[in-house]
């Protein structure tokens, strides 16, 4: 069968439907094909976009086909998703091409007899969209946002309880936009000015980020990361601006002993080592050995010497008890603050998985607290916007540990302007234009 980007996208979608991760399925499709650059981009866009928008696309099938999406043969449902996705979201694909290629896809994949049906459904949608958006939305406000922005109702509910419907609408919309890519300058190897000058000389119009002294934002389409100026020399690494705030909140000092309890692939570990001038020890712990390998590659590229690796479960590392000046727990979480970065992430979490994560976070925090010396500091961070993983974990920890309290960073800290009345930082992507994050700095008070 000919390798068109649409056929390859369909195959990738089929494997995602069977449980594969979207990133892996796209990588595999690209690896096995010899498509030209534009077709590679189309394939990638089709797979990620279709996975991301599947709830909206199902709503269109429900509306325009006689049988509901859930009752369609699974492969035909994916083919219709691909067709609707192109018609609704890809302005660069002419409508006739979107319809014809989807009909071809149906014929090539066992639905010759339903080619007329596919054609009819898509053309029906096209006619209906001539005057206005034909998508019918549920009348209940949560379902309305869920279908419009293609998110599960439980996520919309969790957000609307925290931020209200209007802000949730904007937050949901953010999660369907291409994520920005930020760099954090390795100040042990280069200055912000130096990297900015090198990027500009290469025609890459980087932008500074207000309040963040080490951050530059890449323009859309800057090219492959490994080919950008300064990559090979370890001048910078990719790290979102909000993740950079975590390092400032820890505020490491030269000579400190620090444990980064959930460290891989190491964005924050490297930042801590840089902030302490690479003097002292940063233990990078993680239970995923393969991810620690990536961390080691980053350490080598940035030329750091103070980072030491420890593979294992951070709930059971007794060797660190009472040894640390600072501890960071960048906890495993549901990732609701970074849904725009992984097309399938919104469909992988459930209210039950959030409960499990909340318990794991609590256990990590309790174990890591024993590592901190009296008067020492511990920072807890997640890239989610779920109160069970943030405020609730914090509330329980503080109730169970009266010798700990929330500690504000010094005024001079780049993190200080972000601290809320409650004493923690909660980065909201649609307001701050960065990944959603929760972070709090805690201090141990007993002697």
Ligand X SMILES: C[S@@+](CC[C@H](N)C(=O)[O-])C[C@H]1O[C@@H](n2cnc3c(N)ncnc32)[C@H](O)[C@@H]1O
The correct pick among 332, 337, 376, 436 for binding ligand X (CB under 6 A) is 332
Range in contact with ligand X (rule: CB under 6 A) among 162-170, 313-321, 340-348, 417-425? 313-321
Residue 412 token pair: 């001079």
Angle in degrees, CA 98, 99, 101, rounded to 5 = 70
The correct pick among 267, 414, 429, 436 for binding ligand X (CB under 6 A) is 267
DSSP state of 227: G
Which residue has tokens 């981009």?
41
Residues 6 or more apart whose Cβ sits within 8 Å of residue 393? 358, 361, 362, 365, 380
61 vs 264, beta carbon nearer ligand X: 264
Give the CB-nearest residue to ligand X.
262
**Is 172 marked as binding a ligand?**
no
Question: Closest distance between ligand X and the C-beta of residue 302, in Å?
Answer: 13
Alpha carbons 231 and 229: distance in angstroms, whole number: 6
| Per CB under 6 A, 376 contacts ligand X | no
Burial of 179 (0-12, 13-18, 19+ CB in 10 A): middle
Question: Closest distance between ligand X and the C-beta of residue 136, in Å?
Answer: 38
**Is 335 marked as binding a ligand?**
no
Range in contact with ligand X (rule: CB under 6 A) among 88-96, 101-109, 140-148, 311-319? 311-319
Question: Closest distance between ligand X and the C-beta of residue 338, in Å?
Answer: 10
Give φ, ψ of 51 to 5 degrees. -65, -45
Alpha carbons 241 and 417: distance in angstroms, whole number: 14
268 vs 386, beta carbon nearer ligand X: 268
Which residue has tokens 């690479």?
278
Range in contact with ligand X (rule: CB under 6 A) among 13-21, 60-68, 74-82, 308-316? 308-316
Residue 429 token pair: 């992507």
Instruction: Give the H/E segment covering residue 215.
Output: strand 215-217
Q: Are the beta carbons of 55 and 147 closer than 8 angstroms? A: yes
The correct pick among 83, 230, 234, 265 for binding ligand X (CB under 6 A) is 265
The correct pick among 14, 40, 287, 301 for binding ligand X (CB under 6 A) is 287
Question: Closest distance between ligand X and the C-beta of residue 62, in Å?
Answer: 36
**Is 266 marked as binding a ligand?**
yes
Helical packing angle, 54-64 and 115-128, nearest 10°: 100
**Is 262 marked as binding a ligand?**
yes
Q: Is residue 383 annotated as part of the catalytic site, yes or no?
A: yes
Torsion of CA 107, 113, 116, 118, to 10 degrees: -60
| Per CB under 6 A, 212 contacts ligand X | no
Largest Cα separation within the chain, whole Å, is: 78
44 vs 314, beta carbon nearer ligand X: 314
Catalytically active residues, by annotation: 383
Query: Would you tell me which residues interact with ligand X (CB under 6 A)?
Result: 262-268, 285-288, 291, 313-315, 330, 332
Give binding residues for S-adenosyl-L-methionine as ranges. Answer: 262-268, 286, 313, 330
């Amino acid at each position: 069968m000919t390798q068109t980007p649409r056929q390859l996208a369909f195959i990738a979608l089929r494997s995602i439907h069977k449980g594969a991760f979207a990133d892996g399925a796209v990588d595999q499709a690209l690896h096995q094909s010899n498509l030209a650059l534009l077709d590679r981009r189309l394939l990638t866009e089709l797979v990620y976009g279709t996975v991301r928008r599947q709830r909206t696309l199902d709503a269109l099938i429900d509306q325009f086909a006689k049988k509901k999406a859930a009752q369609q043969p699974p492969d035909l449902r994916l083919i219709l998703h691909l067709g609707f996705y192109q018609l609704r979201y890809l302005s660069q694909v002419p409508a006739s091409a979107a319809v014809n290629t989807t009909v071809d896809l149906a014929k090539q994949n066992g639905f010759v007899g339903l080619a007329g049906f596919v054609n009819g459904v898509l053309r029906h949608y096209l006619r209906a969209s001539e005057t206005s958006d034909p998508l019918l939305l549920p009348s209940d406000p949560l379902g309305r946002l869920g279908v419009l922005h293609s998110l599960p109702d439980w996520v919309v509910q969790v957000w609307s309880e925290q931020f209200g419907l209007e802000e949730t609408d904007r937050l949901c919309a953010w999660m369907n936009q291409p994520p920005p890519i930020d760099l954090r300058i390795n100040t042990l190897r280069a200055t912000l000015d130096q990297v900015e000058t090198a990027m500009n000389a290469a025609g890459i119009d980087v932008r500074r980020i207000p309040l963040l002294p080490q951050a530059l934002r890449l323009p859309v389409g800057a090219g492959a990361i490994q080919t950008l100026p300064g990559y090979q020399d370890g001048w910078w690494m990719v790290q979102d601006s909000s993740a950079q705030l975590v390092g400032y909140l820890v505020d490491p000092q030269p000579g400190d002993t620090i444990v980064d309890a959930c460290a891989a692939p190491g964005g924050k570990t490297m930042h801590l080592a840089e902030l302490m001038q690479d003097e002292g020890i940063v233990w990078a712990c993680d239970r995923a050995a393969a991810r620690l390998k990536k961390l080691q590659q980053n350490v080598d590229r940035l030329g750091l010497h103070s980072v030491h690796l420890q593979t294992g479960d951070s709930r059971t590392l007794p060797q660190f008890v009472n040894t640390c000046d600072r501890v960071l727990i960048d906890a495993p979480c549901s990732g609701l603050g970074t849904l725009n970065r992984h097309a399938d992430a919104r469909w992988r979490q459930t209210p039950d998985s959030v409960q499990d994560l909340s318990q794991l976070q609590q256990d990590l925090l309790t174990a890591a607290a024993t590592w901190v010396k009296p008067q020492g500091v511990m920072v807890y961070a997640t890239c989610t916007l779920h109160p069970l993983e943030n405020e609730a974990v914090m509330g329980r920890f503080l109730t169970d540990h009266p010798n700990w309290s929330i500690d504000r960073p010094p005024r001079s800290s780049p993190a200080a302007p972000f601290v809320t009345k409650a004493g923690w930082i909660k980065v909201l992507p649609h307001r701050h234009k960065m990944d959603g994050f929760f972070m709090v700095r805690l201090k141990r008070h007993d002697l």
